[in-house]
């Protein structure tokens, strides 16, 4: 054993665990920050999903009403033609009002751009889902198989800022409920790096509960 150690020392080879510790300096604090970012991304994903669904519902309702008003106006015009239009002017007035309302609704659909808003919110929701998957996949790997934590944190930060800038605005009236089922990456996997100080352990537990 001594000869083997001496030969390894002469060859200048360094132990592999040292290289892993230098390249993958993962700590419970980094995992807590990533978990917190994943939770924030999950909240934004739900908000964009709700926004896309609301915009799609509004677009569908407006289109159905606009489609229905046209035939109704035609029916009213036919009834007015069959009856005595010279004596009863109610049906011509209703026909004009229904046509006017149909035009207003079609114009509102074009101006409000419900379909376009729904598409942009769906794209933002998909991007947040992809980012959450990347974070969860990275935390699910063994420590020695993960990417460099500092490079990964920098990528996550840049991607998060990019998503916030590119995502469409969210209605202030939308609210989401807290989902406890998302805390599937809450526990730290870096057991060898858990601090012994009780105050630090309490801080890490508090971060993981955010």
Please give the pLDDT value at position 125: 92
Q: How many residues does the chain have?
A: 210
Q: What averages of pLDDT result for each successive group of 10 residues across the chain (210 residues)?
A: 44 42 73 91 91 91 88 81 71 83 87 89 92 92 89 91 88 61 42 42 47
The structural domain count of the chain equals: 1
Asked, for residue 39, whether it belongs to a domain, the answer is yes
Please, are residues 31 and 188 in contact by the beta-carbon 8 Å criterion? yes
Asked, for residue 80, whether it belongs to a domain, the answer is yes
Rounded to whole angstroms, the Cα distance separating 57 from 118 reads 9
Q: Compute CA distances 141 → 17, 18, 61, 144, whole Å.
A: 17, 19, 46, 8
Asked, for residue 42, whether it belongs to a domain, the answer is yes
Please give the pLDDT value at position 181: 43
112-142 exposure pattern, b = at least 16 Cβ within 10 A, e = fewer: eebbebbebbbebbebbeebbebbeebbeee
User: What residue numbers bound the domain in which 184 lies?
Assistant: 30-191
Asked, for residue 120, whether it belongs to a domain, the answer is yes
Asked, for residue 72, whether it belongs to a domain, the answer is yes
């Amino acid at each position: 054993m001594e000869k083997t150690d001496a030969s390894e020392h002469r060859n200048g080879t360094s132990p592999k665990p040292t290289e892993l510790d230098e390249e993958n300096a993962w700590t419970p604090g980094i995992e807590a920050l990533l978990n917190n970012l994943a939770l924030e991304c999950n909240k934004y994903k739900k908000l964009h999903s709700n926004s896309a669904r609301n915009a799609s519902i509004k677009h569908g309702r407006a289109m159905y009403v606009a489609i229905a008003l046209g035939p109704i106006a035609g029916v009213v015009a036919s009834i007015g033609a069959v009856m005595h239009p010279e004596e009863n002017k109610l049906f011509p007035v209703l026909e004009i009002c229904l046509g006017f309302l149909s035009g207003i609704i079609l114009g509102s659909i074009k101006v409000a751009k419900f379909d376009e808003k729904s598409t942009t919110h769906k794209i933002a929701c998909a991007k947040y889902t992809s980012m959450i998957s990347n974070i969860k996949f990275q935390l699910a790997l063994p420590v020695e198989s993960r990417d460099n934590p500092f490079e990964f944190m920098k990528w996550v930060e840049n991607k998060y800022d990019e998503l916030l800038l590119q995502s469409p605005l969210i209605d202030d009236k939308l609210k989401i409920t807290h989902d406890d089922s998302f805390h599937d990456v809450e526990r730290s996997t870096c057991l060898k790096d858990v601090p012994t100080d009780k105050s630090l352990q309490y801080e890490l537990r508090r971060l993981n509960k955010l």
